[in-house]
Amino acid sequence: MIDAALIWEWIIKSLILIIFLTVGFMYVTVYERRFLARIQSRIGPNRAGPFGLLQPAADGLKLIFKEELIPANADKFIFLLAPIITVIPALIVLAVIPWGEAMVIFGRQVNLFISDVNVAVVYIMAVTSISVYGITLAGWSSNNKYALLGGLRATAQMISYELALGLAFMGPVVLAGSLSMVDIVRAQQSSLWYVVLQPAAFLIYFFASIAEINRAPFDMPEAEQELTAGYHAEYSGMKFALFFMAEYIKMIAISTIGATLFFGGFDGPFVDQIPWLGPIYLLAKVVIYLGVLIWVRASWPRIRYDRLMQLGWKIMFPLALLNVIITAVVVVLVN
């Protein structure tokens, strides 16, 4: 059953995903800086390479040769471990997302997903919640008051919005009758995209996922004006780069998960005849979704922390629960 070729296929697909995410991270930073600059009537980084395309390489090289400080009385082992724990879930969460139809490459039938586990949605929920640990430990081990406060705020915020996020996943799951991402995309191919059938779930997913990755307008844990940088205040050099990388890869991850759950994933016109279009459609949807995330950051002010928590517990959580129940009632009655 398992032969060497299959294992090599898995290793190559995993490598492709990880390389895609690391290169994607570099270019999402350029995308964000340029797009944000345009919204604010600036030009943005345009000196390194054509249109500033080599900017991330320059930033990365600079960070490699920077001194890394470990604050006095910090818990050294946890301090080193925290950025690694933060980046791992970001890199592996997309392993269950299908990129396209099965294709024949070099005379071999290749499925365009790393693994089609039958509990993909649970896998996503489980893996995303691991990244809370990295952030908590980073804040705790830094021996810095800002970092501790940032880490606490991030923890409370992320676990609060995890409820709404988990319930937002349930709408598409009820409609598709499966937890597998491949089945959810197939179900959308045979009916409508779930953004039409589940608009409330999509809106809840959209805002809860922004809160989950601590981005504006829900970026209280790293509010520069009051916490200097939150949980990564004491991190420098490549360890800081790992937090940065995790944050941007999480942006790509929530865009891809959102595109797969609510916008049909690799679904699009003519995708059943030309399988190569699948990954292109998915990529296009992810780029548009990322653009909306950047646009949201540029347009909305940060919301106050108490209101943020109340939004999560008093509005999003009951609404998401109501949405699941109503969806289930409609599905059962239509059946």
Partner 1 sequence: MLMEFLPLLIILLLAVFIGVFVVVLGSTFGPKRPGQRKNSPYESGMVPYGPAKRRISVRYYLIAVLFILFDIEVVFLVPWAVVVRQIGVPGLVFMIIFVLILEVAHLYAWKKGALEWD
Q: At which residue do the structure tokens 């400080």 appear?
A: 69
Which structure tokens are listed for 281? 């459609």
Nearer to partner 1, 199 or 318 (CB): 318
Distance in angstroms (rounded) separating the CA atoms of residues 151 and 232: 9
- Which residues ranging from 74 to 103 are in contact with partner 1 (CB under 8 A)? 74, 80, 83-84, 87-88, 91-92, 95-96
| Cβ-based burial of 43 (10 A; exposed 0-12, middle 13-18, buried ≥19) | exposed
Q: b/e for 217-227, b at 16 or more Cβ within 10 A?
A: bbbbbbbeeeb
Nearer to partner 1, 227 or 277 (CB): 227
* CB of 80 vs partner 1, minimal distance in Å: 6
Please, are residues 155 and 211 in contact by the beta-carbon 8 Å criterion? no
Please, are residues 298 and 329 in contact by the beta-carbon 8 Å criterion? no
Cβ contacts of 25 within 8 Å, gap of 6 or more: 245, 248, 249, 252
Task: Count residues binding partner 1 (CB under 8 A).
Answer: 88
Nearer to partner 1, 149 or 282 (CB): 149
* CB of 295 vs partner 1, minimal distance in Å: 29
* CB of 71 vs partner 1, minimal distance in Å: 5
Nearer to partner 1, 34 or 142 (CB): 142
What is the DSSP code (8-state) at residue 223?
Answer: -
Which structure tokens are listed for 198? 């589940």
* CB of 5 vs partner 1, minimal distance in Å: 14
| Binding of residue 319 to partner 1 (CB under 8 A) | no
Distance in angstroms (rounded) separating the CA atoms of residues 171 and 173: 5
Nearer to partner 1, 42 or 304 (CB): 304
| Binding of residue 104 to partner 1 (CB under 8 A) | no
What are the E-state strand segments in the chain? 103-105, 108-110
- Which residues ranging from 222 to 251 are in contact with partner 1 (CB under 8 A)? 228, 233-234, 237-239, 241-242, 245
What is the DSSP code (8-state) at residue 315?
Answer: I
| Binding of residue 62 to partner 1 (CB under 8 A) | no
- Which residues ranging from 254 to 293 are in contact with partner 1 (CB under 8 A)? none
What is the DSSP code (8-state) at residue 110?
Answer: E
* CB of 331 vs partner 1, minimal distance in Å: 6
* CB of 72 vs partner 1, minimal distance in Å: 4
| Binding of residue 310 to partner 1 (CB under 8 A) | yes
Site string for partner 1, 195-214 (x = CB under 8 A): --------------------
Q: Which of 36, 37, 48, 70 binds partner 1 (CB under 8 A)?
A: 70
- Which residues ranging from 105 to 144 are in contact with partner 1 (CB under 8 A)? 114-118, 121-123, 140, 142-144
Which structure tokens are listed for 129? 């919640």
Pairing verdict, β 108-110 and 103-105: antiparallel
**Given the rule CB under 8 A, which of 61-69, 99-107, 190-198, 271-279 is the region that contacts partner 1?**
61-69
